Structure 1
Amino acid sequence: MKQFFKFVLATVVGILLSTIIIILVIVGIIAAAGSDKDVVVDANSILHIDIKYPIAERTANNPLANLSFLGFDGDKSIGLKDILANIKKAKTDDNIKGIFLDESYMLSGQATTEEIRNALIDFKKSDKFIIAYSEIYTQGFYYLASVADKVYINPKGFIEFSGFSSQVTFLKGALDKLGIEAQIIKVGTYKSAVEPLVLTKMSDANRMQVTSYLGSLYDHFLTGIAKSRGINKDSLFNYANQMRIKEPQDALKYKLVDGLKYKDELLDELKERLKIKKTDDISAVEIAEYTKSTDEDIKSVSSNSIAVVYASGDIAGGTGDDNSIGSETISKALRKVRLNKKIKAVVLRVNSPGGSSLASDVIWREVMLTKKVKPIIVSMGDVAASGGYYISCAADSIFAQPNTITGSIGIFAILPNMQKLFNDKLGVTFDGVKTGKFADLGNTSRPLTPEERAILQSEINHGYDDFTKAVATGRHKTQTYINSIGQGRVWTGAQAVKIGLVDRLGNIDDAIKAAAKKAGLKDYKLVAYPEQKSVLNKLGASFSADVKTRILQSELGENYKVYEQIKNVTTMMRTPLMRMEYDVVVK
């Protein structure tokens, strides 16, 4: 009885503590929401850009952003949409005298960096200054910083300038040790997303395609730096190829930077540019706080509106979330804008490596229907490949950045055979009855029979035929031609324009202008879809997911990426997929 009361007491205390924590979180969120006022920008200020987190397409309604307990630091992140809007606003804001680019890591894709870089180039037309400073320059941040009027590095710092590499983690050895065979059914010589499960190194076809698109990305990278820094592109290639930039002094010698400064010296220069005393404080506004979210109120649609529908993340069935594309959510958003007579055109912003072939087809159908009643233009972000390209191909026009990853027109399925794991490793056996020859097709406790494999291959072939037919129709090409550039091959945006998968190189603003022109609009309002969930609606799922992610990242460190890849493998072993390489790291 004594133990029983101890158990009851412990349970009650646990419930009370959990309730208190939940109440504190809710109170913190309400307090944060109530204090979310417009930021007052003082005269003679600088816009401080310090980005050390992956950049999403839109700023999330994060219920934990303003909290600083339970292991959360309260840091705010800002989406690409708001970063671009804030830089554009700063260009004409008399209170902003310049931009300070400060120690950023640029963890997002190259096309995202490209959009921010282009916004900074446009900002310079105002004759306001841009100063970049860092103790450590990654290649991504240096590419961004190279547009600055002055680029400085700490005298004891480090600058990475050695060229691009692409690395894939192969899991076949681990699966062999576990007694798991990945049974692959696919179409596409270059459809290499399955290779980590069945090979221990890159296939010749995959090595060729990666060499091709990596070379295209690197050429664009060098071309941009050469233009902004006034250095010959071939010289830049040699600097990297011969590893000449080993110390900050080398970067200065070869004109990659303009000077070596400690932070105090950098701050003194900023004060000089602002024409204030060295003893005065610099007035600065953080990029994340410069404005509230620039999303328009979905309910306040004007008679001439253009809808921007954001489709970001892996494609799956259901509702999805801020980091994935749910076919139901995106389809609903497309139906909503299609039926709204006040919305005259649609821009579909795609940033996705693909995912479920079924979910991709559901979204493609809505794009097709929308195209019949109003213009729909696609703007591609970092990646719009495989299923991400499938949902794009029906649009009136497609815009991409030169370093967008696209194409990967192919399809595959994975069915694990875990017989050795069960029988030899675990000592588990199975037996049963069935009413038909193929009643247990998909059973993971045994290998596929030749007939079963033929059935699945036929389904995958049919899916690939549908894919290439959809692309051929949308791009006004023959299916034979699409098959020749398909086969799962990955292309950059620059390459995709040449082969007809993309119409023009440009950013999301270019796509919006094209949509307005096609709809015959001169004055219009932008509205964003899908509508983001409110803070309170997201609380439960967001809080638990954030806690889980932080714990895993803390425990696994750099190995967290491997964990994510293994998790993706289990997800892929369920349904036919239109997806490109799921863990290709370019650095």
Structure 2
Amino acid sequence: MSKPNSIIGRFFYRIWKTVDVSGRLFIGLIAITLFVLFVRSCVSGPDLPKVNDGSALILNPTGILVEQEKYVDPIEKVIAGAQGANDLEASMYDLLDAIEYAKKDDSISVMVIQTNKLMGAYGGISKYQDLREAIQDFKTTGKKVIAVADWYSQGQYYLASVADEVYMNPQGSMMFDGMARTGTYFKSALDKLGVNVHVFRVGTFKSAVEPFIRDNMSDAAKEANIEWLGDLWKAMKTDIAGSRDMSVEEFDSFIENYLPIIQQHNGDGAQAALSSGFVDKLMTRGDFREYMINKVGLNDKKDSYQAIGYKKYLKARRPLIDMPSGKDKVAVIVAKGEIVDGNRKEGIIGGDSTARLIRKARLDDSVKAIVMRVDSPGGSAFASEVIRSELARAQKEGKIVVTSMAGMAASGGYWISATSDEIWAHPTTITGSIGIFGMVPTFEEPLNKIGINRDGVGTTKWSRSFDIMSGISEDFKAVIQANIEKGYDDFLSLVAEGRDMTKEEVDSIAQGRVWSGEDAHRLGLVDKLGDLDDAVKSAAKLANIDDYDVRFIKRELDPTEKMIRDILSNAKATGDYSALESVSAKTNPLLHAVNSQVKEIYRLIQNYNDPNHAYLHCMCEVK
């Protein structure tokens, strides 16, 4: 760009040059930072954490418990760490592995559960149950489990209550609020804006489209939701009551009489929890530190008790290289998130990318069985069938296919599971929602109001039958509805084939209705109740193999991702983010929160990419 002669031109030229130079400088600083970290990592090599004898294992998950962590760009992840941002997700398998290693490790004498940064569990409560079961197994060794927190939310306490001893800060509190399914409804707003939302669906209970066509939850949706929510709530309160040696009636009484109880204790939630038997003792952070020092001794720095966090512990105990063996294998493929067409990275189920993982297992002669670990509310009908058909191909070639349902496997999540040789679910899995819908918004009215109009010609009546700026013809609406009805009939046929039922029997429990795993088992939609380990053992038995390895089939990182991961992992391990901090600025928390909400809405709309505009989706998150 040549330098202009005019004053205004020179002014904007200087601005452009400043931006250009700043951009080049920023990119250069990042490149230098990556090079320095690369050299440092090459020179220093892996620095494994030390596990002192008698240490406490700190189980302190941060963020949302998930089957599979969502893919985050490595540079963004490290910069977030440099800014002090917490992890947004915690891998269930990292937690379960740490518990399993610690169970057999003489260097670990006690487990400490810290729940202050635990934000919830994706898809329901089954992940809490998996952790509770693993911790119960850990306790069979005679090692103590201690829980401590400044306060407890309902989910945090559900996990903590499995401990032998439960402590809380004197300034803390806890309250149980039960479970709810609450939606946001947009019909009136869309009507005011003039947006026409054309909905095509089959199923009395298919409520995923209700936010766009109603201002409240339908009676049918309320009926279905309260039933499966009741099953989940019953399981949670039964587990908590059993762990705290109280009856379910006593638990219910605490909730129903919480107001007079808290008033009796002058608003002191900590004392109310203590007197009602939910915590064993109130301790400040300093008190708990001294208590643990007396139990396990001082750490090397002499400033706290001897302990190691579960992530550092995994680095010390988990093998760096997964060495291949000559054994037969049960392949596990995790399908977590919404189902969309095409290729996606971790956290979203891409039809093509997930089928590729299945194909990898299918073509491996050492793999005798495939276990699909499904944790999904569904999504694209086309992508769901891409995945299911690849599983069916594996079955035709002699592989056993077993589905293990995690927190939820509904709509498209059930579609990909329907023809498995066997289906396992947790009693609290959210599943079913066998139905289908299509949804297309058009914007002709708001555009016309501001003077924007569409017009044209076409060679057939279909040429201009669908335009988001001018509407949908009645004939084209009928075509879409026919396609949706065929999709529902296909869904019924798949389930009938896979479950050895008639289509009429499936239809009577389908219609988009959501069920708990317990009810789904009773109705024949699920074969057995159990966790992933149960499903893997059953898959091996069906494949007639006794001595086998379990292998998680994952997406292979491309060379660039590998290089960046290796370079930046050293910085993360040492906590040395100084170079990255120099080229990053902290985000305003309010702007970050608003931006996150906008991104979530955009992501939801963007993921509606089915080529036929047909969706198998369940809006069944627990709030």
- TM-score, with length taken from structure 1: 0.91
Q: Does residue 322 of structure 2 align to residue 284 of structure 1? A: no
Cα separation, partners in 2 of 1:552 and 1:264, compared to 1, 3 Å = closer
Residue 193 of structure 1: how far off its partner (Å): 0.7
2:531 paired with 1:507? yes
The answer to whether the 8 Å contact 1:314/1:325 transfers is yes
CA contact (8 A) 1:60 1:78 kept: no
**Per-residue CA shift, 1:374-409, capped at 9, x if unaligned?**
211111111111101111111111111122111111
The answer to which of 294-303 and 14-23 deviates more is 294-303
Structure 1 residues 82-93: aligned runs within 5 Å? 82-93=94-105
**What is the CA–CA distance in structure 2 between the aligned matches of 1:146 and 1:437, rounded to whole Å?**
65
Alignment of 1:276-315 (within 5 A): 281-292=304-315, 300=324, 302-315=326-339
> Structure 1's 535 and 263: CA in aligned 2 closer, same or farther, altered over 3 A?
farther
CA distance in 2, matches of 1:270, 1:232: 31
User: Which stretch shows the higher mean deviation, 319-328 or 524-533?
Assistant: 524-533
Letter in 2 for 1:239: F
Residues 319-366 of structure 1: per-residue CA shift (max 9 Å, x gap): 111111111111111112112111111111111111110000010101
Give the superposition deviation at 1:268.
2.2
The more displaced of 447-456 and 309-318 is 447-456
2:53 aligned residue:
43
Name the residue aligned to 2:608: 572
- The CA deviation at 1:52 is 2.3
The reply to whether residue 391 of structure 1 matches residue 391 of structure 2 is: no
Residue 16 (structure 1) aligned with residue 54 (structure 2): no
Post-superposition CA distance 1:243-297 (Å, at most 9, x none): 2564111111211111111111222222233266997741211112211496996
Partner of residue 73, structure 1: 84
Out of 426, 447, 461, the position equivalent to 1:437 is 461
2:403 to 361, 375, 378: 378
**Amino acid in structure 2 at the alignment position of 1:228:** S
Letter in 1 for 2:407: D
Q: Distance in 1 between matches of 2:334 and 2:350?
A: 11
Q: 2: distance between equivalents of 1:72 and 1:151?
A: 32
Partner of 2:580: none
Secondary structure at 1:94's aligned position in 2?
coil
Which SS does the other structure have where 1:291 is aligned? helix
| Structure-1 separation of matches of 2:138 and 2:34 | 39
CA separation of 1:316 and 1:279: change in aligned 2, threshold 3 A: closer
Distance 1:315 1:82 in 2: 24
1:7 shift after superposition: 2.9
State the secondary structure of the residue aligned to 1:164: coil
1:422 correspondence with 2:434: no
Task: Please tell me whether Structure 1 or Structure 2 has the larger radius of gyration of its CA atoms.
Answer: 2
CA contact (8 A) 1:307 1:345 kept: yes
Cα pair distance change 1:485/1:438, threshold 3 Å = same
Structure 1 position 97, deviation (Å): 0.7
Alignment pair present for 1:345 and 2:381: no
Which segment is superposed worse, 84-93 or 54-63?
54-63
Identity over aligned residues, as a percent? Answer: 33
Change in CA separation of 1:71 and 1:303 when aligned onto 2, cut-off 3 Å: closer
Taking structure 1 as reference, are residues 21 and 556 closer, same or farther at Cα in structure 2, changes over 3 Å only?
closer
- Secondary structure of 2:57 counterpart: strand
**1:585–1:526 Cα change, 3 Å:** closer
Query: Cα gap change, 1:228/1:153 in structure 2, threshold over 3 Å: closer, same or farther?
Result: same
**1:261 maps to which residue?**
283
Q: 2: distance between equivalents of 1:510 and 1:26?
A: 46
The one-letter code sitting in structure 2 at the alignment partner of 1:164 is: M
Check the 8 A contact 2:62/2:90 in 1, yes or no: no
Deviates more, 1:273-282 or 1:88-97: 273-282
SS in 1 for 2:140: helix
Structure 1 residues 468 and 23, CA gap change in structure 2 (3 angstroms): farther
Q: Which residue in 2 is equivalent to 1:557?
A: 593
Bigger shift: residues 475-484 or 163-172 = 163-172
Find the aligned partners of 1:208 and 1:552 in 2 and give their Cα distance.
42
Is residue 543 of structure 2 the alignment partner of residue 519 of structure 1? Answer: yes
**Shift in Å, 1:522:** 2.3
Alpha carbons of structure 1 residues 70 and 225: separation in structure 2 relative to 1, 3 Å: closer
Change (3 A) 1:89 1:560: same
* Distance change >3 Å, CA 164–CA 539, structure 1 → 2: farther
1:207 shift after superposition: 0.7
1:579 Cα deviation (Å)?
0.6
Q: Which amino acid aligns with 2:243?
A: S
The 1:412/1:25 distance shift into structure 2, 3 A limit, reads farther
Residue 458 of structure 1 corresponds to 482
Given that residues 186 and 212 in structure 2 are in contact (C-alpha distance below 8 angstroms), is that contact kept between their aligned partners in structure 1? Answer: yes
One-letter amino acid of the counterpart of residue 81, structure 1: Y
The residue that corresponds to 1:412 in the other structure is: 437
8 Å Cα contact 1:52/1:105 also seen in 2: yes
Worse-matched range after superposition: 48-57 or 204-213 = 48-57
Q: Residue 205 of structure 1 aligns with which residue?
A: 220
Q: Name the aligned partner's letter for residue 272 of structure 2.
A: D
**Who is 1:322 aligned against?**
346
Quote how far apart the aligned CAs of 1:302 are. 3.1
Once structures 1 and 2 are overlaid, which stretch shifts more, 135-144 or 271-280?
Answer: 271-280
Displacement of 1:460 after TM fit?
0.1
CA 465–128 in structure 1, closer or farther in 2 if over 3 Å, else same: same
- SS of the residue 1:466 aligns to: helix
- Counterpart residue number, 2:237: 222
Report deviation, 1:299.
8.2
- Specify every segment of 5 or more residues in structure 1 that has no aligned partner in the other structure, as ranges: none
Paired residue type of 1:97 = S
How far residue 440 of structure 1 moved from its aligned partner, in angstroms, is: 2.6
In structure 2, how many angstroms separate the alpha carbons of the residues matched to 1:364 and 1:86?
A: 33
Amino acid at match of 2:417: S
| Alpha-carbon distance, 1:70 to partner | 8.9
Question: Residue 252 of structure 1 contacts residue 260 of structure 1 at CA under 8 Å; is this kept in 2?
Answer: yes
Contact map agreement 1:298 1:529 (CA 8 A) in 2: no
Alpha-carbon distance between aligned partners in 2 of 1:172 and 1:295, rounded to the nearest angstrom: 54
Query: Which of the residues 77, 87, 105 maps onto 2:118?
Result: 105
User: Does the 8 A contact of 2:289 with 2:304 survive in 1?
Assistant: no
Aligned pair partner of 2:180 in 165, 177, 185: 165
Q: Distance in 2 between matches of 1:493 and 1:72?
A: 41
Contact 1:98–1:128, Cα closer than 8 Å, also in 2: yes
Match of 1:136 in 2: 151
What residue number does 1:149 align with?
Answer: 164
Q: Could you give the per-residue CA deviations for residues 464-500 of structure 1, whole angstroms, max 9, x where no partner exists? A: 1111111111111111111111111111112211111
Cα gap change, 1:236 to 1:532, in 2 (>3 Å): farther
Q: How is 1:473-512 mapped onto 2 (pairs within 5 angstroms)?
A: 473-512=497-536
State the alpha-carbon separation in 2 of the partners of residues 498 and 369 from structure 1. Answer: 29
Q: Aligned with 1:586: secondary structure? A: coil
CA contact (8 A) 1:310 1:350 kept: yes
What letter corresponds to residue 353 of structure 2 in structure 1? T
Aligned partners of 1:311 and 1:273: how far apart in 2? 42
Q: What are the Cα deviations for residues 49-72 of structure 1, in whole angstroms up to 9, with x where unaligned?
A: 112212332457762487357964
Aligned to 2:296: 274
Task: Give, as a single letter, the amino acid of the residue that structure 2 aligns with 1:122.
Answer: D
Q: Give the 3 Å change call, closer, same or farther, for CA 106–30 of structure 1 in structure 2.
A: farther
Contact 2:466 2:473 in 1 (8 A): no
The farther-off stretch of 213-222 and 433-442 is 433-442
* Structure 1 contact 553–560 (Cα < 8 Å) conserved: no
Tell me the C-alpha RMSD between the 2 structures: 3.0
Give me the whole-angstrom Cα distance separating, in 2, the residues matched to 1:454 and 1:480: 24
In 1, Cα distance between the equivalents of 2:39 and 2:417? 39
| 2:384 is equivalent to residue 360 of structure 1 | yes
* 1:367 match: secondary structure: helix
| Counterparts in 2 of 1:383 and 1:205: CA distance versus 1, 3 Å | same
